[in-house]
Structure 1
Amino acid sequence: MNKQTHFFFAIKIPQETKLILKENRERLKEFLPFSRWVHHEDLHITLAFLGDAPSEKLTSAMENVQAALSGTKGFILKINRLGIFGKQDSPRIFWADTNESKELQVVRKKVFSACLEAGFQLETRPFKPHLTLARKWTGDKPFQQNLLNVWDKLQPEPLLFKVDEVVLYQTHLDKTPKYEEKTIYKLE
């Protein structure tokens, strides 16, 4: 059997932040029936999805990203609110987003451009930084938008974290967690 694997560059979420999100996720699961909840170790912010990457192109992208991120400073992000992608009454994706960040936009542009230069064809939709928490609404009733307001109750204190690593991940669909760190790029 051919196991397809994918690669992507992403912002790594610090372990302590992942554990807080894991605790919040467990509380959300009690009243939000999504079919698949993301393992807390797999939480990240995707910068560039490469898909099935031929080794020469992947090597080129890795070198380009290393050069592009050289001298880039780390920065602070805040997890802001909850949201959905897909139909309003039956969402495909349930996520948490971050505050507006010029630093994040710059890092994303550097990584994205480095991957384009390596020959990858990348997603053309506008960048919407988010952490996917769950997939596929399975509720008996339509999803209610007011459920998204629960974040302030779950997380009354701002959930800040330092972005100091970009990671090249490889996907393993047959494992949990399913994302393996292949290369880490430290920000200053």
Structure 2
Amino acid sequence: MNQQTHFFFAIKIPEETKLMMKKNCERLKEILPFNRWIHHEDLHITLAFLGNAPYENLSNAVDNVHEALRETKGFLLELNKLGIFGKVESPRIFWVDTKESMELEAVRNKVFTACVEAGFQLETRPFKSHITLARKWAGDQHFDKKLLEVWNDLQPDPLIFKVNEVALYQTHLDKTPKYEVKKIYQLK
């Protein structure tokens, strides 16, 4: 079976942060029945989803993003609160977001613009900084929004991490973890 592969640019989450999030997700799994939990190595913040990228466009995007991020400095991000996308009673995406960050917005805008200039038509919905934790509610009961308040119990101290890298990822649906880093852009 020939599966299409997809590419996307994302903030690469540091390993120590991924391990802390893995520990929190193990505890969340006990109370939140979602069909698929994201492997901790696949945690990231998407900046631009390219989809099935033609080679020339992808090559141009790689160069454009390199140029756009050339003088960009690393910055701190803080995880904020849990949330969902989709129907409240049966969410399709379960995530944790970040506190508002002008630096993150600036990096996202640079990457987004670089990809558009490379010929990609990207998602036009407003950017919502988040890290997907799980997909597809599988509970017997409707999802209870009060469950979104458990993050403070799991993570009483702020979870802050340094953003040092943006990465180009390739998706491999038949593997776990399923996202392969193809290129790293080191921030100053």
Shorter chain as denominator, the TM-score bin is over 0.9
Give the aligned partner of residue 125 of structure 1.
125
What is the CA distance between 1:94 and its match in structure 2? 0.2
- What percentage of residue pairs aligned between the two structures are identical? 72
The one-character-per-residue Cα deviations of 1:2-58 (angstroms, maximum 9, x if unpaired) are 121000000000000000000000000001000000000000000000000011110
What is the CA distance between 1:101 and its match in structure 2? 0.1
Give distance in 2, aligned partners of 1:140 and 1:59.
46
Alignment of 1:14-25 (within 5 A): 14-25=14-25
Paired amino acid for 2:50: L
Paired amino acid for 2:153: K
Paired amino acid for 1:158: P
Give runs of ≥4 in structure 1 deviating > 3 Å.
Answer: none
Give distance in 2, aligned partners of 1:129 and 1:67.
23
User: 3-state SS of the aligned residue for 1:180?
Assistant: strand
Give the aligned partner of residue 66 of structure 1.
66
Paired amino acid for 1:40: H
Paired amino acid for 1:74: G
User: 3-state SS of the aligned residue for 2:131?
Assistant: strand
What is the CA distance between 1:83 and its match in structure 2? 0.3
Paired amino acid for 1:36: R
What is the CA distance between 1:185 and its match in structure 2? 0.2
Structure 1, unmatched stretches of 5+, are none
Give distance in 2, aligned partners of 1:161 and 1:88.
30
Give distance in 2, aligned partners of 1:12 and 1:64.
18
Give the aligned partner of residue 98 of structure 2.
98
The one-character-per-residue Cα deviations of 1:47-74 (angstroms, maximum 9, x if unpaired) are 0000000111100000000000011000
Paired amino acid for 1:115: C
Give distance in 1, aligned partners of 2:173 and 2:115.
23
Give distance in 1, aligned partners of 2:89 and 2:102.
32
Give the aligned partner of residue 11 of structure 1.
11
User: 3-state SS of the aligned residue for 1:170?
Assistant: strand
What is the CA distance between 1:135 and its match in structure 2? 0.3
Equivalenced residues, count? 188
Give distance in 2, aligned partners of 1:141 and 1:46.
30
The one-character-per-residue Cα deviations of 1:118-153 (angstroms, maximum 9, x if unpaired) are 000000000001000000001010000100000000
- 1:82 paired to 2:87: no
- 1:157 paired to 2:146: no
User: 3-state SS of the aligned residue for 1:181?
Assistant: strand
- 1:53 paired to 2:62: no
Structure 2, unmatched stretches of 5+, are none
